[in-house]
Structure 1
């Protein structure tokens, strides 16, 4: 994982350093739908989150972009976790219903492949990684329908760094000149454990992307 992140970071420096690259900046704000994968338990379904911030396409060749940005991303997800370590006492097996409400500064590092423009429209596919740095962690915890924790700080129970693999696609519609609207769909697969204390928990989400390039 560290080697992959290093290679993508090196690629970003190389791409941004090319004299003939065309940099495009834009703004994005969109919902996402998060869920958990729990090694010692199961997901409790989908929870809604939100992403907003700055996006950037660096066109280093015709129809090829290095895509990055600076985003604030909230990933929510809930699961039934057996013997959830931060709250479990004794030896009896107990299910805890835990909702994680995680907020990150997210830096995507991906390659975007575009089609030629037709009728002011371009289609694209996208693949890469995200590097996420936790800025907030909250959780709700229930056991046997009794509330144990309500929106408590979970920084001590979660990891600071998260990495995700992204794959997606969409379209851009040119309004005029360099201004274009962007829409698409992205799946972000969590690669690293967000839990601590011997709990393996990964969060994933599907995002419906909206944005505008200037």
Structure 2
């Protein structure tokens, strides 16, 4: 799956470069900034003895770039952003877990808080503009590099908070990116951007040799809010 995602990234990136060379001198490249409230931020365990017991909230923020198709009804969409992930996990088997892998006979509870530097690669298709409004749909992928990883855990009478687990967390996160929404033209070259997006992770975010934790992926639902210039 990782090879497929990397191939998609390369194909979309080559398209971005090609269109940038052809249209950079017109207003075929739009830049903007965004703030995305993440209202459902959760881990997706792949094992039967692991439960997700909570979903975290957060805010992603960053810069957006749309490299427009020649007809203006589509674009290669990319940019750079700081993205957050937070959720809770419960392990019911004493010989399985994250930080404390040998919790004798006790249920283990964990809360991971992750931060990534993330680059999306996607194709965005748009409707014609009507009364200043137009609608868009988006499909693609993203690639994230881990910036920070902290964890709280407890089992039995043992607990600890804000543990640095950077070395125990997968440094790369990739997945599927889909979204839909609209734009409203505020001025000749200023557009309000809004919508809803899903990031469906494919990568095991806790993959390492220290934790007997099974595969855990990261999913996020977020509002898309921003302005293009």
Same fold per superposition (TM over 0.5) = yes
Tell me, yes or no, if the aligned pair for 1:84 and 1:95 is still in contact at 8 Å. Answer: no
Q: Runs ≥4 in structure 1, deviation > 6 angstroms?
A: none
Provide TM-score, normalisation by structure 2: 0.86
Aligned to 1:188: 199
Asked if structure 2 preserves the Cα contact closer than 8 Å seen for 1:137 and 1:154, the reply is yes
Structure 2: gaps (5+ residues): none
2:21 is matched with: 17
Classify 1:93/1:12 alpha carbon distance in 2 versus 1 (closer, same or farther; 3 Å): farther
CA contact (8 A) 1:129 1:164 kept: yes
The separation in 2 between residues aligned to 1:97 and 1:85, in whole angstroms, is: 9
Question: Are 1:171 and 2:186 matched, yes or no?
Answer: no
Q: Normalization by structure 1: what TM-score?
A: 0.92
Match of 2:149 in 1: 137
Secondary structure of the residue aligned to 2:145 is strand
| Cross-structure match for 2:97 | 84
Question: What's the CA shift string for 1:16-60, capped at 9, x where partnerless?
Answer: 222367000011012112011112301113210110111111102
How far does residue 74 in structure 1 lie from its aligned partner after superposition?
1.0
Counting only pairs closer than 5 Å after superposition, residues 1-214 of structure 1 correspond to structure 2 as 1=3, 2-19=6-23, 22-32=28-38, 33-40=40-47, 41-62=50-71, 63-81=73-91, 82=93, 83-89=96-102, 92=104, 94-144=106-156, 146-195=157-206, 196-197=208-209, 198-199=212-213, 200-214=215-229
2-structure distance, mates of 1:11, 1:193: 28
Q: Distance in 2 between matches of 1:8 and 1:149?
A: 43
Pairwise CA RMSD: 1.7
In terms of fraction of residues, the more strand-rich structure is 1
- How far apart are the structure 2 equivalents of 1:78 and 1:12? 37
Equivalenced residues, count: 212
